[in-house]
Amino acid sequence: MASQVPLLTLAKFLVLIGGVVLLVGGILQAIDVRLMDFGTNLARLGSFTGIVVGILVGILALVGSREVANPAWSLILLILGLFVGSLGGILVFIGGLIGLVAHYVKV
């Protein structure tokens, strides 16, 4: 049990940093989007969807960083990190994976 604490701390740190990166990246992308052009553009819709998903996953990662010791939350973070796929998503994925490993592997 004592060897789980450094792994869970590392997992919490990675998920927290990944959530911050996703949130800041989503906000910076939202600032860059020009919302004054009301023409329909499929590329802008895809960009807007990516921004919203990035911000939502960032918020979920920030909330889930406190619960990384729970295997259900670790699995959720693992899937969300895989779904997003950016640098922040990779950090969330690795944090969720370390949380699962720390819970199920007894060293």
- Provide, rounded to the nearest whole percent, the portion of the chain with pLDDT above 70: 83
What pTM does this model have? Answer: 0.83
Assess whether pLDDT exceeds 70 at residue 91. yes
> Residue 39 is part of which domain span?
4-104
Residue 2 has pLDDT above 80, yes or no: no
Structure token pair of residue 54: 């990035």
Work out how many domains the chain is built from and give that number.
1
CA distance 47 to 26: 10
Sign of the alpha-carbon dihedral angle for 96, 99, 104, 107: positive
Cβ burial of 11 (10 Å; 0-12, 13-18, 19+) is buried
pLDDT classification of 15: cutoffs 50, 70, 90: very high
Q: What is the DSSP letter of 47?
A: H
- How confident is the model over 20-43, as a mean pLDDT? 73
